[in-house]
Amino acid sequence: MSASDPNAAIGGRVYALTVLAAIRPECRARVRAALRALPRRRSPFADVEGTHFARLVIVDELVGRPAPGRQFLLFSAVFDGLTAEDRDVYAERVCKAAPPVVDGVLACCYGQPSANDPEGFAAWLAARQIETLAFYFDADATVAEVREALALRERVRAFARETQYAAAPELRERFRRAFPAVAP
């Protein structure tokens, strides 16, 4: 339930995943190269169903502390979900749809299982998850709903322009033809 999992938005249907993992020293150079090799125009996360936002950040120093001599990888995502079970399902989807992230980037971290082990990957994420204190969302909608709503708005806008002088019978007929599936 949304109220019981602090990472889920209260009153919404999205989950905030924040993971901080230590990068293996021998991978320091490789991790940045692997991250930059991820296509930006066609991100691997585009294939992970339900992902609203995702980011990967290298944390190599912290304000107020001497350089730790280690690097950390921050992985965060906002995805459709409410519970830890949804998070585990999401981890499996990442394994399936975004192997360059799992085997290319996150593989640079200690203990990270390969994309062939989705259950192990889900447990790995869970062990390194940082609990959310507060999570704000603007619109309560899944990724699919957002895309559908944006597309519908475009169609309605065009339809309104095209039919501004249509008489009532024509307007209704054209409406039925233009919106056969989405109209109630």
Partner 1 sequence: MSRAWPSARRWEEACPGNVAGKARALTAIGPMTGGWKLWGLRLAFWARRHVGWFRRSRVKKLRELSFIYYARWALIDGLPGGEGGTGTKLDPPYLYFESNFNGGFEEYIDAFAYVIRLEMKVIFGGVRGFVGPTPATPFKRFIRGHDYECEHYYCAYPEATSTDIAQAVSVRDAFKQLPRDAEPEAFARSWRDFLTKAQAWL
How many binding residues for partner 1 (CB under 8 A)?
Answer: 80
Select the span of 14-22, 81-89, 113-121 touching partner 1 (CB under 8 A): 14-22
Q: Which two tokens stand for residue 122?
A: 């889900």
Near partner 1 by CB under 8 A: residue from 1, 29, 168, 181: 168
Binding flag, residue 35, partner 1 (CB under 8 A): yes
Binding flag, residue 108, partner 1 (CB under 8 A): no
Q: Which two tokens stand for residue 71?
A: 């690097």
Binding flag, residue 183, partner 1 (CB under 8 A): yes
The answer to whether the Cα torsion of 74, 129, 8, 114 is positive or negative is positive
Binding flag, residue 128, partner 1 (CB under 8 A): yes
The answer to whether the Cα torsion of 5, 93, 56, 77 is positive or negative is negative
Contacts by 115-121 with C-beta closer than 8 Å and gap 24+?
118/91, 118/92, 119/88, 119/92, 121/91, 121/92, 121/94, 121/95
What does the per-residue mask of binding to partner 1 show for 67-86, with x meaning CB under 8 A?
xx-x-x-x-x-x--------
Binding flag, residue 16, partner 1 (CB under 8 A): yes
Which residue, 110 or 116, is less far from partner 1 as judged by CB? 110
Binding flag, residue 131, partner 1 (CB under 8 A): yes
Altogether, the residues listed in the chain come to a count of 184
